[in-house]
Amino acid sequence: MSISYAQLPPGGSHVRHECSTYNSRARRESMKLARTLFLIFIFFTACWAPYATIVVVDRYDTFRQEVHFFALLLAHTHSSINSVLYFASNQNFRDGYRHLASLLPCRRLFSSSASRKRLRMKIQDFGTKSGEISNGRRNGGDSSVCDDANGK
């Protein structure tokens, strides 16, 4: 038995280090996810609590119509706030939003200068390979909406 343990490589500690690194990274990601879910829960509760309270308390419609309207408006605002929360707390969503914004006709308004340079290089590479794009314009067409807005 002692002979078989002697045959093990002496660097067995690196396995423990890799596992601890993996565990700390997984723990950090789990904490970020928990924080995101907690924020979503808090905003959900804050947005829907007034509406739920009014529905329970004012079952005979004695409150003013504006109060009902405001509570309902606040409740439905939650779905809009969700996208902002995900953007603020998740890198994958930020990348997705940036990609979506880059697909818009006026993508220059939404992307950074580095992103524009990368996109311009991709368009030029595509144009040289297929011959469809020349001078940043598809099929030799007119300027884009952004060029018109920027005075080019």
What lies within 8 Å, CB to CB, of 119 at 6+ separation is: 102, 107, 111
DSSP 137: E
Task: Please report, as a single letter, which amino acid is at residue 124.
Answer: Q
In the chain, domain spans: 16-89
**Total H helices, total E strands in the chain:** 6, 2
pTM: 0.54
Cα dist from 30 to 26, 34, 35, 82, whole Å: 6, 6, 9, 19
Taking only the tens place, the pLDDT of each residue in 27-79 is 999 999 999 999 999 999 999 999 999 999 998 999 999 999 999 999 999 99
Helix (H) or strand (E) holding 133: strand 133-134
**Partners of 137 in the β-ladder:** 134
Residues 6+ apart with CB under 8 A from 140: 134
92 or 5, which is more confident? 92
